């Protein structure tokens, strides 16, 4: 399920809920709800999430495991 992948990807690339929320200009609670499956981001938002993770994620991890 894609929601669990968001949590896994955030963990792998060392992206915090606060950092992702800040980058997407949304409330941290929204990101937390995605991580636990209480709500789902739109397809458009998924693209923004992945771009944000590339921008703020751990560069060494991104080199080893590109998105």
The ranges assigned to domains in the chain are 2-64
- Residue pair 20/10 in contact by the 8 Å Cβ criterion: yes
The reported pLDDT for the residue numbered 26 is 97
| Beta strand segments in 1-67, E | none
Query: For the chain, which ranges sit under pLDDT 70?
Result: 1-4, 62-67
Q: 25: which DSSP letter?
A: T
| Residue 57: per-residue pLDDT | 82
Compute the Cα dihedral for 64, 14, 41, 4 and give only its sign.
positive
Residue range 2-64 forms a domain whose CATH class is mainly alpha
Cβ atoms < 10 Å from Cβ of 6: 22
Residue 57: how many other CB atoms lie within 10 Å: 21
Quick one: pLDDT at residue 5? Answer: 84
């Amino acid at each position: 399920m894609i929601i669990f992948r968001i949590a896994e990807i955030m963990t792998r690339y060392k992206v915090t809920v606060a950092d992702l929320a800040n980058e997407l200009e949304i409330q941290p609670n929204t990101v937390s709800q995605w991580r636990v499956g209480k709500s789902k981001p739109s397809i458009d938002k998924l693209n923004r999430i992945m771009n944000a993770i590339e921008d703020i994620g751990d560069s060494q991890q991104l080199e080893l495991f590109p998105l």
